[in-house]
Structure 1
Amino acid sequence: MRKTPSILIASTFSVVPTLHAQGNTGDLDTRWEKEVLPLVETYCYDCHGDGIKKGELAIDKYDSISEMQQHREVWKRVRDHLKHQLMPPIDEDQPTADERKKILAWIDDAVFPVDPNHPDPGRVTLRRLNRVEYQNTLRDLLGVNVNVMDLIPPDDSGYGFDNIGDVLTLSPAHLERYLEAARVSLDKAVIPGEMPPPETDLPGKDLKGDGQRSEDGHYLFKSGEAKTVFKPQRAGSYRVTITASGTFGADVAPLMELRIDGKKLKDWSVGARMDKPEEYSEEIRIEKDEPVELTAAFMNDYWDENYPDRSRRDRNLMVNAMRITGPLDGPAPEKPQSHKRIYLERKPGERDDSYALRVLNGFARRAFRRPTMEGEVKRYLQLVALAKSQGEGIEHGIRLALEAMLVSPSFLFREEPQPEPDKADKIHQIDEHVLATRLSYFFWSTMPDQKLMELASRGELRKNLDSEIDRLINDDRSRQFVSNFTGQWLRLRDIPSTRPQEKMFPKFNGKVRDAMRRETEMFFGYIVKEGLPIDSLLDADFTFLNETLANYYGIPGVEGDKFRKVTHTDSHRRGIMGQGSFQLLTSYPLRTSPVLRGKYVLENLLDTAPPPPPPNVPQLEPPSHKGDQRSLREQLEKHREDPSCASCHALMDPIGFALENFDAAGAWRDQENGKDLDTAGKLITGREIHGVDDLRKALVQDHKEEFYRSVATKMLTYALGRGLDWYDKPALDRIVSDTEKAGGNSRALVRAVIDSVPFQYRRGDS
């Protein structure tokens, strides 16, 4: 089992404020005056000093380190532009590599000082459950599947994820919707009072027989039948309720007859209009525990095109739905398991308030994901008493209290108690119940299960962290981590909205699009489950395909709808950049986009987001017979002649050009409009590449550490529910270092995120 660093053994330690990581203020001032300022004056002041402030940036206005620290956002942009060689502009004199490193090192030491021996874990805003977490938590808490996604307003995103505490607000509209969702879920999970007889509901469109079917129901436009076969639980009395409507013929309503196994039981004159159907009900007797055929028959069809009233020339019947309730006699059925799970068995002679308190205590421990506090649950007994005062039974009173618990802050928010919340200089290790919650929402997007809670209650979760992480990853619920993390980091959630133009890409369809998303999800999930190097995402020689996607890619030997692991024989398809999901997300409906593809690689795989483009930049158009005859590459090369665009495009364009063999719908091509594609380029580092294979090698050979840091940044952001800041650098350094020591092992990366100070500790507010 991995050992915790000695500095973190105590559960509480003080943050030692430090101005810089190396030396003292005097050393930094000296370095600035003698080493850094001359370089800044040489390479930066032409645009950002001596009275000039392009982009509203004047570096010479910051005359002290403390003032620079007060404007860290400005200096972060300065640092990023220098690091990624966006500044100075590409047509200006450039600092040497050593000079650039010297400036960056000083900015790190002076403006962003960190002390690895006294790390700052930061703090997380009290975090509301997002929609996915809320639905999953309701499912596991109540033991029923209820779709409440449409009831809850969409979540905002921050730092690329929708689980960020700072943006997960709670408005009155949210609270109203959460209360409605709680009621809908409890209606399915618990049944207070007498257990009603079971019901079988059949939409009209699911009935067999004559006529036509639609979402509205089963339409009989001439005499005929709408019927179903019903399997009774046992012999007994049942109620058949038919929801129906119709149109009059002459002055007579349609006649509907109920039959069982062809025998007439009842008929009705259906006077309900088509826009206002009504229920027609009859109690029947089923004598044997055998399937019976139930029929709604239309008996009096009528048509007269000469009838004076046009609205009464055609008599028709619409069977909107059929419901069978029963058996109505005999013993009441047992309550469902979801009900029994909450409403514990009552002890002989147990008083109502004692029983209610015992039920609510058990529910609250699971719903609030922690032990309850003294007196916390007793206040909910007031709702039980209110229901009883209105003539309701004890079970109805408990149901009312459960509703209140499901809109309590302790349920809707992920509480993380802080012993000294107002002291930012005190850091505390999170307790084991909070750790259990962080782990379960990280991997499963839902509440901790019983085992996690039991280990936390015994104070043994950290002792068993290795085995628990393995269990969490190997559990089927870890698919939530795969879909929610990759869905946002790699933007797979955007795939359903991609629409390559049908005429341009006739082989592409919805099944192909869905398969492309599934391919990338299974690919990432397999790498993590098997503990493969995380850089396998870039160059793995395998993927997951079904017949649909394999045929689209031109890969033989894959049959059936089931996805399976397939080894690549074509190097072009290796890694994520060879997958259709990547190509769809980085294209327009009519054409590819080297800029979007380059930006995606920089932003999502290297965490190097280029700045936004200047305003009013015209959109490039694909070459056409009537329009611009120049290729996209030629247009971009012309575009880069503008100095304000050249630096960013020097970063993005060579990456995008290398990927041009993939069209906008993810298929391979060697030509565009009859011309051979030119996929050559030179990366900002000076390395020349020719196509996707060279690009992949460049990323793996020259930028592996940046890739590790990018994945670590995204994963830690997702795990913490907050954006990372300059003081998180020691944590990221440690995660990257541990990953490198493990040969890039993806499990080691995940474990390093969980072991990190920000995941295991928190501090109070300033």
Structure 2
Amino acid sequence: MPYLQESLPSRLLLLIGLCCASAVCRAEPFEVFLQRHCVRCHGPETQEGDLRIDRLSREFNAGVDTHQWAEALEKVNSGEMPPKEEPQPTQDEIATFVANLDARLQDGRASRMAARPAVAHYRLSRKEYQNTVYDLLGVRYDPTEPGQLNEDTLWHGFERIGSQLSLSPSHIDRYYRAADIVLSRAFPAAQPEPRHVRKTAAELRYGGGKNQQEALDRFGIQRPLRYLLFPGRVQSALSPHWFGKTGAEHSGLYKVRLQASGIRPPGGQPAHLSIGKQTSEETVDAIVEFDVTAPEDHPQVYEFEVFLEMPVNLHFCVVATDVVDRRAGAAFRNALASRGGHIFTHSSETLLLNPNAPQMFDDQGNGIFSTVILDWIQWEGPLVSEAEQSRRNGVIPPDDATPEMVAEHLGRFAERAWRRPVMKDELENYLQSYHEQREAGESPAEAFRVAMHGVLTSRNLIYLVEGDPAAREYLTDWELASRLSYFLFSSMPDDPLFAATKAGNLDGEGLESEVDRMLTDRRVDRFIDDFSRQWLQLHRVGMFPPDKTLYPDYDDWLEASMRAEPVEYFREVFTKNLPLDELLDSDWTMGNVRLCDFYGLPEPSTSGFQRVSLNPDDHRGGLLTMGAVLGLTSDGTRHRPVHRGVWLSEVILNRTPPPPPANVDPIEPVPPEGTKVTIRQRIDAHAKNPSCAACHRNLDPLGLAFDHYDAIGQWRTRERVPTGMGEDPLVDASGVMPDGRPFSDAVEFKRLLIEDRDKVARAFIEHLCTYALRRVLTVDDQDDLKLIEEEAKRRGYRVKDIVRAVALSQLMRKR
């Protein structure tokens, strides 16, 4: 009968409803409400947002259109629908409709719960695989290297959604290759001895410096030769031949130490040094980067640990917008870089050594460019820490082990790798491989490596397997332990969590104790890094590089700093358990020297990110006015208010707008003979298209509130319009929220969002649960989400407490 009803005209449907049996009569107010208040805009004649209410399935048990029905319920219940210009239902009509629709959704949810599939598989992301093999065997492996694991498919920024992470034949080949690499590094045929290489400035810059030292001796200069690293050209930092013959077996952790100081021009940027693989004549893909703020007379020793896939060539790159080639060109750079040309020991000595040399300093000794002065650099590695080695000790049985001992060793390894108890029959094939290798003449250790290779390439490691052939609603303790661990550690359970699970302590106080421990463990930094990066869609930062002619102050260092700022900010909020409101607005931020220079804030006294106080005149505070957020929604030439509105709707409110209608005309630039107008004014004209008006009504205010910020997040009062006649127009960042509340600028807009903290908190919880459960939430999750929300609200919506509430929720225990 419901399908028949859907195919009939609305008037005939109403007539049938008046005459049908009592069950259908009870549904009459539901359909009448839809006819009176919904079908006009979402029916045969008009389909705003590509939605036709009359065609949505009434078979709620099937769950086909539950998402659309749940959205309709939310909009009606909040008063957002019907629109203000349409006839309004009475409060009684709204209450009846909401109760009726909610009951239908709940009945459908209960019916579908019993039909859930018995087994779910969630493939590990590349990052999770990397962390897992490290925590399992202490092996550093980079899955992003060319030829390694395939890039993860993203869903709204999240890289761990199970339905997106398929497993193709190319994936399988790469997992086999990855297992080979991991085992060869964990159990090498011969452990390479760590090597130590030190290069002085004379060796790096002057080929030993014999001739240059003779020149210094003639002048009577006692200072040692030093190496000028300047913007606009990369210079060698590591060549693999320094270590002799190197290959993949020498890949691993290396310690780099260098002594350096910086030259900063008056009013310019401090020197920023990057070390990485060369990507162009002027840039590198940095693996280490830092500010060099030590003065020339008091150089500082900097020390870092980096993972290197050997053999590799690395280069220095000084990042600054005051690059040399803008002043003097290639001849100038070549003269500075040539081995026999420019000799340098100290800024006060340069003219004495060579009056015709390129000038790096003015007549008062001030630097003309942001420059790094390098005294020496040393590399040591590959290094294996005691903690890393301890994870490998005892894994391989002794050469004289009995078959029973071999099986016991493999069982222990598989239990940790697969994150659960392992039955003997599950290991039969792997043990068979071991015995076949032994019969073929392989050593016990090599044969056991073959068995371990099978364990590492099993679906039980690559996937999180939740469920078993007997359908059940809740996870086992072992499944829960893995879900918690990959939520908070982005990796396998650690030893205390394994022990608690074995002891049956993952319930009640025992579960709370484990979650509280994990929230203070250093590995929770992985959650901070991964969740904030994915939730805020920071992979889009730099996707459209800003036009250098329009934004000359934008450089790689600024982009890297922008990408890091939201993560470091979230780390501070999480670590100090600050209220969720702080994510929206605050009187502080996390900044480094480059960001503070960009924002016009007082610079930190040391390198790295620090907490920086803000004043109202700084026009910052919270995530929404950070350069990364404002820049990732731009196209490299101009800001895009609609895209900013879409980002805010998705990320802050967890409401994904429908895609724009097909063949909609783009927003055209102002013609040369036209009057300069803002993008806002052009959007207003564009939004008059009936197909566009509904979405723009809800999205535009969210983005226009930040029109005082340009494409890279700089504050301005006038919008730069490159074409047209007249002066650049004043920015208008005012607007009206979808519910009718007005605001004049971003400050007032953020206050309105804070007034809606319940909605923002609900959205944040939904994002956390999506990340934790590795799937898109459904209407079936609403009751559990409401319980998490109530607990979070009771604790004042503090961010760590919200994460804790998610980890302890019933939703985390459900399959």
- Tell me if both proteins adopt one fold, taking TM over 0.5 as the criterion: yes
2:284 aligned partner: none
Instruction: Name the CA shift for 1:672/1:46 in 2 (closer, same or farther; >3 Å).
Output: closer
Q: How many angstroms apart in 2 are the aligned matches of 1:55 and 1:650?
A: 12
Matching of residues 394-543 of structure 1 within 5 Å: 394-418=444-468, 421-423=469-471, 426-428=472-474, 430-462=475-507, 463-543=509-589
- Confirm whether residue 171 of structure 1 aligns to residue 165 of structure 2: no
2:342 aligned partner: none
Whether the 8 Å contact between 1:545 and 1:564 is mirrored in structure 2 is yes
Q: Any idea what SS the aligned residue of 1:561 has?
A: coil
Instruction: Name the CA shift for 1:655/1:101 in 2 (closer, same or farther; >3 Å).
Output: farther
Q: How many angstroms apart in 2 are the aligned matches of 1:389 and 1:502?
A: 66
2:336 aligned partner: none
Q: How many angstroms apart in 1 are the aligned matches of 2:92 and 2:405?
A: 74
2:732 aligned partner: 678
Instruction: Name the CA shift for 1:665/1:99 in 2 (closer, same or farther; >3 Å).
Output: farther
- Confirm whether residue 638 of structure 1 aligns to residue 635 of structure 2: no
Q: How big is the shift at 1:399?
A: 1.1
Q: How big is the shift at 1:380?
A: 2.0
Matching of residues 41-60 of structure 1 within 5 Å: 41-46=35-40, 48=42, 59-60=53-54
- Confirm whether residue 153 of structure 1 aligns to residue 150 of structure 2: yes
Q: How big is the shift at 1:570?
A: 2.4
Q: How many angstroms apart in 2 are the aligned matches of 1:47 and 1:54?
A: 6
Q: How big is the shift at 1:498?
A: 3.9
Q: How many angstroms apart in 2 are the aligned matches of 1:561 and 1:138?
A: 32
- Confirm whether residue 689 of structure 1 aligns to residue 743 of structure 2: yes
**Structure with the larger RCO, 1 or 2 (CA within 8 Å, 6+ apart):** 1
Q: How big is the shift at 1:559?
A: 3.4
Give 1:735's aligned amino acid. I
Whether the 8 Å contact between 2:61 and 2:112 is mirrored in structure 1 is no
Q: How many angstroms apart in 1 are the aligned matches of 2:630 and 2:49?
A: 34
2:787 aligned partner: 734
- Confirm whether residue 758 of structure 1 aligns to residue 755 of structure 2: no
Whether the 8 Å contact between 1:135 and 1:149 is mirrored in structure 2 is no
Q: How big is the shift at 1:198?
A: 3.6
Whether the 8 Å contact between 2:489 and 2:524 is mirrored in structure 1 is yes
Q: CA RMSD in A?
A: 4.0
Q: How many angstroms apart in 2 are the aligned matches of 1:118 and 1:737?
A: 25
- Confirm whether residue 379 of structure 1 aligns to residue 433 of structure 2: no
Give 1:108's aligned amino acid. D
Q: How many angstroms apart in 2 are the aligned matches of 1:649 and 1:487?
A: 28
For structure 2, the 5+ residue unaligned runs are: 1-19, 210-232, 248-382, 721-727
Q: 2:757 aligns with which of 704, 711, 728?
A: 704
- Confirm whether residue 107 of structure 1 aligns to residue 152 of structure 2: no
Whether the 8 Å contact between 2:397 and 2:406 is mirrored in structure 1 is no
Instruction: Name the CA shift for 1:617/1:697 in 2 (closer, same or farther; >3 Å).
Output: same
Give 2:615's aligned amino acid. T
Instruction: Name the CA shift for 1:363/1:215 in 2 (closer, same or farther; >3 Å).
Output: farther
Q: How many angstroms apart in 1 are the aligned matches of 2:521 and 2:606?
A: 26
Instruction: Name the CA shift for 1:100/1:697 in 2 (closer, same or farther; >3 Å).
Output: farther
Q: How big is the shift at 1:602?
A: 1.4
Whether the 8 Å contact between 2:152 and 2:159 is mirrored in structure 1 is yes
Q: 2:394 aligns with which of 321, 344, 348?
A: 344
Q: State which drifts further: 390-399 or 378-387.
A: 378-387
Task: Give per-residue Cα distances to partners, 1:117-141, cap 9 Å, x unaligned.
Answer: 9988967721111111111111111
Q: State which drifts further: 136-145 or 619-628.
A: 619-628
Matching of residues 529-568 of structure 1 within 5 Å: 529-568=575-614
For structure 1, the 5+ residue unaligned runs are: 1-24, 220-225, 231-239, 244-332
Q: State which drifts further: 544-553 or 474-483.
A: 474-483
Q: How big is the shift at 1:112?
A: 4.5
Q: How many angstroms apart in 1 are the aligned matches of 2:91 and 2:790?
A: 24
Q: How many angstroms apart in 2 are the aligned matches of 1:470 and 1:551?
A: 39
Q: How big is the shift at 1:242?
A: 10
Q: Any idea what SS the aligned residue of 2:35 has?
A: helix
Whether the 8 Å contact between 2:397 and 2:445 is mirrored in structure 1 is no
Q: Any idea what SS the aligned residue of 2:466 has?
A: coil
Q: How big is the shift at 1:152?
A: 0.6
Q: Any idea what SS the aligned residue of 1:415 has?
A: strand
Q: How many angstroms apart in 2 are the aligned matches of 1:167 and 1:196?
A: 39
Task: Give per-residue Cα distances to partners, 1:366-420, cap 9 Å, x unaligned.
Answer: 11111221333343222222222222211111111111111011111112343xx
1:323 aligned partner: none
Q: State which drifts further: 57-66 or 703-712.
A: 57-66
Q: How big is the shift at 1:621?
A: 4.0
2:676 aligned partner: 629
Q: How many angstroms apart in 1 are the aligned matches of 2:403 and 2:502?
A: 26
Q: How big is the shift at 1:664?
A: 0.8
2:293 aligned partner: none
Give 1:436's aligned amino acid. A
Instruction: Name the CA shift for 1:690/1:125 in 2 (closer, same or farther; >3 Å).
Output: same
1:746 aligned partner: 799
What TM-score comes out, normalization by structure 1 length? 0.73
Instruction: Name the CA shift for 1:26/1:525 in 2 (closer, same or farther; >3 Å).
Output: farther
Whether the 8 Å contact between 1:121 and 1:759 is mirrored in structure 2 is no
Q: Any idea what SS the aligned residue of 1:497 has?
A: coil
Task: Give per-residue Cα distances to partners, 1:666-712, cap 9 Å, x unaligned.
Answer: 111111243221111111111110000110011111x2111111111
Whether the 8 Å contact between 1:190 and 1:338 is mirrored in structure 2 is no
Whether the 8 Å contact between 2:109 and 2:779 is mirrored in structure 1 is no
Q: How many angstroms apart in 2 are the aligned matches of 1:478 and 1:456?
A: 19
Q: How big is the shift at 1:748?
A: 2.5
Q: How big is the shift at 1:31?
A: 5.9
Instruction: Name the CA shift for 1:121/1:748 in 2 (closer, same or farther; >3 Å).
Output: farther
Matching of residues 361-372 of structure 1 within 5 Å: 361-372=411-422
**Percent of paired sites with the same residue:** 31
